Amino acid sequence: MTGRTMRAAIYRGKGNLEVVEIAMPPVGPSEVRVAVEYCGVCGTDLHDVLDGWGVLGSIGGHEWSGRVVEVGSGVPLEIGTLVVGNPGSACGRCEACLAGRPNLCEDRSTAGVEQSHGAFADYVVVDSNQAVTVPPGVEARAAAYAEPLAVALHALELAGIDPGHRVMVSGCGPIGAAVVAALIAQGHDDVVVVEPSPLRRDLAVRLGATVLEPSDLETPWHPGIAVDEPVNAVIETSGVRAAAESGLAQLVACGRMVLVGTGMDFPRLDSNRIILNELVVTGAYTYGAIGFASALELISSGLLPLDDLVEPGSVGLEALLDTMVRLRSGEVAGKVLVRP
């Protein structure tokens, strides 16, 4: 395929994507070329393009599935293998890697400052250890959900949730919905979602959650006082300042809040409430060593309502920018898949 071109959606500046023909990248000895089947649109993609967080010249898209069409000389994968992309790279030697947390590798790239070459394109070239083989029976469309689901499962792992715990999920965008669906699939029946969008509240109800609006939440006047119906864990997926601040006040003593959603309007958390109730607040960054394996296993189990979680059909590269705007405005509730 050397010398050929492919189409890609390239970030040209805030609110500006350009679909152009670019040179097909070469395949190194340890790499594979994958023909992209589907690529999900992530909240990070919205930040990069609509908020201007992206690096000029980047190609977004990291929630993808596709089929191997070319392999390097040292790669055992067969042509035609369905794979999903694990965008992380790790040294395998540092303390974090040896602890099974390659997402925190000492040699990881600095988020948001390196030019990406993702899957909003006809093809993507990745190192073979970043191409995870999809189990038999899982179709490409379902497999593309593995990356956001791995993020959700990692957040739940850090939350330390027991079967009888009451869990609050703040925001029912793509990651919030994945968290809710995973909780329900794992047998949790006391899941509360806080979401202002009617479309996303409806999705949360279909997934099996109890739904509240942000205005329904109260913050007691004293940091040592609990609300009437506290929760054991809050999974904050919206990245909204007020959501994190009010979410903290919903926790029982020794409760945990896991911050998953990103934003630039940082919350001001009540340290007195954290101290008086010995609360734990932690971040959740992508996923650990078995994140994709766990996600693919749950997808292959058939327990996830993928028809609710993923929007019907798909969009092409030309419709990607408009789709991002619609996602930001709340006109779309589920995961949108791009089919280059």
Question: Superfamily for 149-283?
Answer: NAD(P)-binding Rossmann-like Domain (3.40.50.720)
Provide the whole-model pTM. 0.93
Which class is domain 5-145+310-338?
alpha beta
Average pLDDT over residues 15-44: 94
Q: How many CB atoms lie within 10 A of CB 323?
A: 21
Q: What is the number of alpha carbons within 13 Å of residue 134 lying toward its C-beta?
A: 26
* Whole-number Cα distances in Å, 123 to 7, 8, 32, 54: 8, 8, 10, 20
Helix (H, G, I), strand (E, B) or coil at 258: strand
Confidence of residue 2 (pLDDT cuts 50, 70, 90): very low
Average pLDDT over residues 14-26: 94
pLDDT at position 283: 97
Domain positions in the chain:
5-145+310-338, 149-283
Burial of 168 (0-12, 13-18, 19+ CB in 10 A): buried
Query: Which residue among the candidates 2, 5, 44, 81 is catalytic per the annotation?
Result: 44
User: 242-264 pLDDT, tens per residue?
Assistant: 999 999 999 999 999 999 998 88
Q: Which of 27-36, 114-123, 158-167, 172-181 has the lowest mean pLDDT?
A: 114-123
Confidence of residue 134 (pLDDT cuts 50, 70, 90): very high
| 110 catalytic per annotation | no
Query: Which residue among the candidates 47, 154, 165, 188 is catalytic per the annotation?
Result: 47
Q: Is the pLDDT of residue 115 over 70?
A: no
**Cα first-last separation, the chain:** 18
| 44 catalytic per annotation | yes
Q: Is the pLDDT of residue 113 over 70?
A: no
